[in-house]
Amino acid sequence: MISCGSQCLKSLLNKQDNVLSQLHLLISTAVILVLIVALLLMIIPDSATANKLSEIQRRSYIRIAVKDNVRPLAFKDVKGNLQGLEIDLAQRLATDLLGKEANMKLVTMANRERLPMIFNHKVDLVIARVTSTTSRSRIVSFSIPYYLDGTLLVTKDTSLEHLQDLATRKIGVLNNSSTIASLKFYLPNAELVGVSSYKQGKELLENNTTAAFAADGSILAGWVQEYPQYHLITTKLSTEPLSVVMPKGMQYDELRRKVNSALTNYISTGWLKQRIIHWGLPVY
């Protein structure tokens, strides 16, 4: 056995004290950092929770992103005022969420901005012709549908009334759109002509290069309203639910419940169907 004198024992104790001191320092530093973070979270506004229903009600206004160029869902009239089914829905939701004195701030944006506006907390809701999909639901939450959109066909040929009338005809369709799959399924012998825009699709119809053009019914309904010489072939080739977009996270549960409860009421009372008919959208 190796003996250790008082000097050796003192050295060992000093080393132990140093180790303990360093350990206490690390623990203290960690505790201080946790306290600082907690303090910062209390002081700095948390943008990730800024859209909770209680916060919306406290500030007495709600921010809703909408489109302004999709007739009859949301568009500007001759005076520059926003109107359409989605504008009516935004106004009704604002009132039901905040009361009769509710203020609503409508924010218009491009298609590519619709989801970022929500997960970057720029707005509280998005009502802008957004189809609820599994992939999108990973980053945002969706309400129950307020309208069931889907692929329809439009034509100016009065002899074309039914889907099978187009069985072997030329049909315009946007390049790389999901509409192509629906057309190939229902009209496998039709000749599809790809276009890069709705404008180009209309040009092909005007010069009789194609007999019809396929796209979402919500878009084509506005087309027919603007150009009465066209009519819809109302057999729907797909179903795409349009929903209100909301933030994800437990802190938004109450907001989501309120929105879904309101939509359920609009459907059960017939208010939503009445507005759909009023704006000339196909009803299924």
d(CA 267, CA 13): 78
Q: Where are the beta strands (DSSP E) in 150-211?
A: 151-155, 170-174, 191-195
Least confident piece of the model among 21-35, 150-164, 221-235, 249-263: 21-35
Query: Would you say 216 and 150 are in contact if contact means Cβ atoms under 8 Å apart?
Result: yes
β-pairing, 141-142 with 69-70?
Answer: unpaired
* pLDDT at residue 42 greater than cutoff 90: no
Q: Determine the length of the chain.
A: 284
Dihedral angle computed from the Cα positions of residues 164, 169, 170 and 174, in that order, rounded to the nearest 10 degrees: 10
pLDDT tens readout for residues 168-178: 999 999 999 99
d(CA 117, CA 115): 5
Q: What is the pLDDT of residue 2?
A: 44
pLDDT tens readout for residues 122-165: 999 999 999 999 999 999 999 999 999 999 999 999 999 999 99
Q: What is the pLDDT of residue 99?
A: 86
Q: What is the pLDDT of residue 52?
A: 84
pTM for the whole thing?
0.80
Least confident piece of the model among 28-42, 70-84, 228-242: 28-42
Task: Give the 3-state DSSP-derived string for 178-236, with helices as H, strands as E and coil as C.
Answer: CHHHHHHHHCCCCEEEEECCHHHHHHHHHCCCCCEEEEEHHHHHHHHHHCCCCEEECCC
Confidence of residue 5 (pLDDT cuts 50, 70, 90): low
Residue with more model confidence, 21 or 210: 210
d(CA 96, CA 230): 38
The region, left, alpha or beta by phi > 0 then psi within -120 to 50, assigned to residue 270 is left
Place of tokens 């087309």: 223
pLDDT-above-70 percentage for the chain = 82
Q: What is the pLDDT of residue 32?
A: 39
Residues 6+ apart with CB under 8 A from 81: none
Which residue in 119, 115, 143 sits closest to 248, CA to CA?
119
pLDDT tens readout for residues 90-107: 999 999 999 876 789 999
Residue range 2-27: average pLDDT?
46
Confidence of residue 7 (pLDDT cuts 50, 70, 90): low
* pLDDT at residue 269 greater than cutoff 50: yes
Q: What is the pLDDT of residue 11?
A: 52
Q: What is the pLDDT of residue 240?
A: 95
